[in-house]
Amino acid sequence: MVRGLLIIILLLWPLTVRAEGEFSLTFQLAEPLDRPVVGQMIPVILRGRYDRHIANEKLILPPSETFDWIQTHADEWFEERIDGKSWRILQRHLAIWPRHDGLLHFGPAEHQLTIITRAGQRAEASVKAEPLSVSVAPHPDPMMNGWKFAARAVEIEDVLSADPARLPDGEAVTRRVTLRALGSLPEHLPPRPLISEPWLITFAAPVHREMRRTPEGPVSEVVWEWQFRPEHGEPGVLEPISIPWFDTIAHEMKTVEIPSITIGYASYYTGQTAKGRFSARLKWGLAGAALAGVFAGGLITFWRFGSLQRGAALTQRLRRLDLRRWLALWQARRSGDLLAERRLAEELSLSEAQRRRLDLKIYGPKV
């Protein structure tokens, strides 16, 4: 009889130890919340209350199919007196973002504990938090192509490696745009804008996204970087790019803008031509100058020699006054076309020494 009673007591003893103590665990909104929209950050506190010393603990919060979430601060443990009784308090700060609209549920959560009983023994305990229910409204801008960009504050930074409107011939400019948002995750920020112009060679670097935790909440940023090089010297304009976002403080749609920029070569403003290529305006100007030069040269020659009967000599002089040939010679030198340069040197009657140097470049020294 005594032996049987002792066995029953021993069997019930672990249950008695396990059941000792008062615990609670609840989800709470960290601040008053009007009906949030899809993609809006919702600050949440998971609060636990315990009347026993805790030797070890593990808080389990499973993945959610309806919310993205992160922990925003380190866990807080402190003592608090409630109704004259001392409690051990845990607060875990979370931020959650609804993935779609409707009545959504976040949780549950479970806190597995190893407590110290009144008898000084260790015992296992567990407490669960019921899911948090949140009514979520649709995002106010359905035309964002699946990107539900909502934030408390947004800023944009635009950095250029050089003056894009006055680039050296053949050079490129690097543009680095950083978009920052308070209260968003990196994957919630919009994709890189597509920039494509027929007059512009564009190279886009890989997109960089990151997040850092601040006392005001998570700050996420995305960095877009391009290299732009004009196809020709005449400047072109990249139009401004507007990025819509929902302001969760003012509860209204807003936009930030990547400003417009002008891209071109400095040589356009000095009358020169980039990379040996001529714009249409400059070509007509040069053609007019060439005709004027030919006409003026003819008059000078006629006045100087008194007649046009010295045909061969006059033709040679007119060739030397032909601005088009001099421009062609300049282009041949820039492009490295030695044969064209040699032909034009002959037509323009360059010095014997200059022509000999060209012959050495083309044919090499005579054996």
**Does residue 142 lie in a domain region?**
no
Instruction: Report the CATH number at residue 62.
Output: 2.60.40
> At residue 314, does pLDDT exceed 90?
no
Residue range 62-107, pLDDT digits in tens:
999 999 999 999 999 999 998 889 999 999 999 999 999 999 999 9
Same domain for 104 and 63: yes
Same domain for 289 and 188: no
**Does residue 141 lie in a domain region?**
no
Same domain for 154 and 240: yes
**Does residue 5 lie in a domain region?**
no
**Does residue 4 lie in a domain region?**
no
Q: How much is the pTM?
A: 0.67
> At residue 344, does pLDDT exceed 90?
no
Q: Which residue has the higher pLDDT, 293 or 110?
A: 110
Q: Which residue has the higher pLDDT, 292 or 341?
A: 341
Q: Specify the pLDDT at position 274.
A: 45
Sequential DSSP letters for 137-203 = BPPS-TTSTT---EESEEEEEEEESS-GGGBPTT--EEEEEEEEEET--GGGSPPPPP---TTEEEE
**Does residue 69 lie in a domain region?**
yes
* Residue 88, domain extent: 17-136
**Does residue 164 lie in a domain region?**
yes
Least confident among 1-15, 94-108, 150-164, 251-265:
1-15
> At residue 18, does pLDDT exceed 60?
no
Work out whether the CA dihedral 270, 275, 281, 284 comes out positive or negative: positive
What is the rounded average pLDDT of the residues 203-224?
96
Q: Specify the pLDDT at position 201.
A: 93
Confidence of residue 108 (pLDDT cuts 50, 70, 90): very high
Same domain for 239 and 155: yes
Residue range 235-290, pLDDT digits in tens:
999 999 999 999 999 999 999 999 999 999 988 877 655 444 444 444 444 445 44
**Does residue 73 lie in a domain region?**
yes
> At residue 339, does pLDDT exceed 50?
yes
Confidence of residue 126 (pLDDT cuts 50, 70, 90): very high
Work out whether the CA dihedral 129, 130, 135, 139 comes out positive or negative: positive
H or E, element range at 320: helix 311-320
Same domain for 317 and 248: no
**How many distinct structural domains can be found in the chain?**
3
